[in-house]
Amino acid sequence: MRRLPRSARFPIAMSMAAAAAMAIGAVVPGRAAPAATVPFLAHQAVYDLSLKKARGNATVNSARGRILYTFSGSVCEGYTTDFRQISELQSGENKTTVSDLRSTSWEDADGKTYRFKIETQMNDNASSAVDGIAERSGNTVTVKLKQPKQKTFTLDPATVFPTEQVRRIIEAAKAGKSVLELVVYDGSDDGERLYNTLTVIGQPIPGDRAPSEPDAATSSDTLKSLTRWPVTVSYFDRSAKTDGGEQTPTYAMSFELYENGVSRSLVLDYNDFVIAGGMNKFDVKDTKPCK
């Protein structure tokens, strides 16, 4: 059986953000305001995972799991993401693989500093941990890892972190763009993985258009009037060697992205099998106002 891949860090992974009441471009006393600010919503969401389909010779017969996602913070204090995904896959050999991924990250509103701690456990095996910080200074992005081993290295100057990635996707969607390419670092795997990403953005969906499959998001008074966009983000391993042909993404994530950063109707595509994530719970969280 193919090893269960480490979870795509849902935006997906991608980090969402907070401070719904914060005006775009707000100035924080004592510091320069971010170049642009999306009025993100602090929230907690629960997604139930199930097998959508298997392809080719995939031996996955069934899958189930759950994602618990919490986003808090503000443009003043930065954004904190707490994420946990538990997945159970059953193969044709009657084997069960259970994966438990936990991560906590913090990113400042300027997209210059990103701290992360990620712990992954497969079945009853010992857990593996990644712990580090990435900082942007001028045209240099430096990563300092504490785990799984102490190491310092630099990234492509164009690299963005997860919350900045989502901000740029929303801004591109509002501007009517359909394609966005970004280099993204999120600390996943061994902390040294860098991704080229290709984001495809569909036509806007007005808030008054009923979805084909309602969920906790579409029944929320907070989200009912907001525009959302169908989005697919493909992640390509930047270090992977190609033979000159078209590179296959490591994984792809599809979802409907609201203008305040909330995502619904998740689809995680790992090439040989696809996982669907339906939101069954959604709660708006309080955000401390900027002083």
Cβ-count burial of 38 within 10 angstroms (0-12 exposed, 13-18 middle, 19+ buried)? buried
C-alpha–C-alpha distance, residues 189 and 120, integer Å: 9
C-alpha–C-alpha distance, residues 207 and 59, integer Å: 39
Cis peptide bond prior to 148, omega within 30° of 0: yes
164: nearest Cα among 114, 90, 223: 114
229: nearest Cα among 268, 253, 251, 259: 259
pLDDT of residue 256: 96
What share of the chain has pLDDT > 70, as a percent?
85
Q: Could you tell me if 79 and 17 are in contact, meaning their C-beta atoms sit under 8 angstroms apart?
A: yes
286: nearest Cα among 75, 45, 73: 73
Query: Taking the CB of residue 252, how many other CB atoms lie within 10 A of it?
Result: 21
- Residue 124 vs residue 291, higher pLDDT: 124
pLDDT confidence band for 7 (50 / 70 / 90): very low
pLDDT confidence band for 237 (50 / 70 / 90): very high
Residue 139 Rama label (left phi>0; alpha psi -120 to 50; beta)? alpha
Instruction: Give the dihedral of Cα atoms 278, 264, 204, 169; nearest 10 deg.
Output: -130
pLDDT confidence band for 35 (50 / 70 / 90): very low
Whether the per-residue pLDDT at 197 is higher than 60: the answer is yes
Whether the per-residue pLDDT at 19 is higher than 60: the answer is no
Query: Would you call 51 helix, strand, or coil by DSSP?
Result: strand
Q: What is the pLDDT averaged over residues 25-31? A: 30
pLDDT of residue 204: 97
Rounded to two decimals, the pTM is 0.85
Whether the per-residue pLDDT at 117 is higher than 90: the answer is yes
C-alpha–C-alpha distance, residues 123 and 97, integer Å: 6
Phi, psi of 24 (to 5 degrees): -65, 130
C-alpha–C-alpha distance, residues 43 and 145, integer Å: 29
Distance of CA 265 to the CA centre of its chain: 14
Query: Taking the CB of residue 98, how many other CB atoms lie within 10 A of it?
Result: 14
pLDDT of residue 242: 67
Q: Could you tell me if 254 and 277 are in contact, meaning their C-beta atoms sit under 8 angstroms apart?
A: no
Q: What is the pLDDT averaged over residues 245-267? A: 92
The pLDDT mean for the chain works out to 85
